[in-house]
């Protein structure tokens, strides 16, 4: 799957389309922080295209505002990263730099990913927005996701998302992406039963990721360990983590 095919699957209204190139210089000028952030944008991005701006007037979904955030529009961007770019550093920077909640479709060396992150008002600087919570990055063309790809592409379409407000719409996209992340462990793509279930699933996915990282470290340590008592201890730790992982998976 390439970026254009995925964007087509969103079925965005024609009236929302922008289809304009975003100069890297413009993005870099708005980057907060040190000159290193601006260099990352200049050196790491090959090209960026503003695909669409979803607003109440063109998608029929009302804006959202409370004391924490203001969602007047959602920006859909198509970003091509250079092979040498460090996506784990660059994607958070792009999300922080763009003031609107942003739906990022990211291409790098033949791979395509979706990146999402909520925004909120900064508590330190009035009028500025910051990333709220974790950034969700979903690879779209991994072999593990083949069986779930069809249902996922159907579910990601704009018309399938919540339409109460732009915040709910964006949260729906986040929940759909997290459902795809969970698909490999669930044996298929399944949308959450409710907003509460979606929040529990997000917590369970983070717990599974943490436990998998710990288990990988312990397996590596056990493979290097020469003393039998220590190896037994590491294997017992590994079993406890595996049990916790099973419990976390049950919450998906």
* 8 Å CB contact between 168 and 127: no
Residues of the chain above pLDDT 90, percent: 77
What is the rounded average pLDDT of the residues 30-57? 87
* 8 Å CB contact between 248 and 207: yes
What is the domain partition of the chain in residue ranges?
3-191, 201-250
Least Cα distance to 138 among 126, 125, 148 occurs for 148
For 172-192, write each residue's pLDDT tens digit: 999 999 999 999 888 889 999
Q: How many CB atoms lie within 10 A of CB 188?
A: 10
Quote the pLDDT of residue 1: 81
What is the rounded average pLDDT of the residues 41-67? 95
* 8 Å CB contact between 62 and 165: yes
For 104-139, write each residue's pLDDT tens digit: 999 999 899 999 999 999 988 888 889 998 999 999
């Amino acid at each position: 799957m390439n970026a254009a095919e995925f964007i087509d699957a969103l079925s965005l209204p024609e009236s929302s389309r922008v289809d304009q190139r975003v100069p890297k210089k413009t993005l870099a000028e708005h980057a907060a922080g040190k000159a290193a952030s601006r260099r990352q944008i200049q050196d790491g991005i090959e090209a960026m295209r503003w695909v669409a701006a979803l607003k109440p007037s063109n998608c029929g979904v009302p804006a959202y505002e409370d004391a924490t955030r203001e969602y007047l529009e959602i920006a859909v961007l198509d970003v091509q990263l250079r092979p040498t770019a460090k996506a784990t550093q660059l994607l958070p920077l792009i999300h922080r730099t763009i003031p609107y909640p942003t739906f990022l479709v990211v291409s790098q060396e033949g791979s395509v990913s979706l990146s999402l992150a909520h925004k909120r008002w900064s508590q330190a600087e009035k009028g500025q927005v910051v990333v709220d919570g974790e950034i969700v990055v979903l690879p779209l063309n991994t072999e593990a996701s083949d069986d779930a790809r069809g249902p996922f592409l159907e579910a990601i379409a704009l018309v399938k998302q919540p339409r109460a407000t732009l915040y709910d719409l964006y949260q729906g996209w986040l929940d759909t992406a997290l459902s795809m992340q969970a698909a490999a462990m669930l044996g298929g793509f399944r949308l959450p039963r409710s907003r509460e279930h979606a929040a529990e699933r997000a917590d369970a996915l983070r717990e599974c990721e943490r436990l998998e990282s710990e288990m990988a470290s312990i397996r590596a340590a056990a493979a290097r360990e020469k003393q039998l008592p220590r190896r037994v201890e590491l294997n017992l730790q590994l079993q406890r983590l595996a049990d916790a992982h099973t419990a976390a998976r049950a919450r998906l």
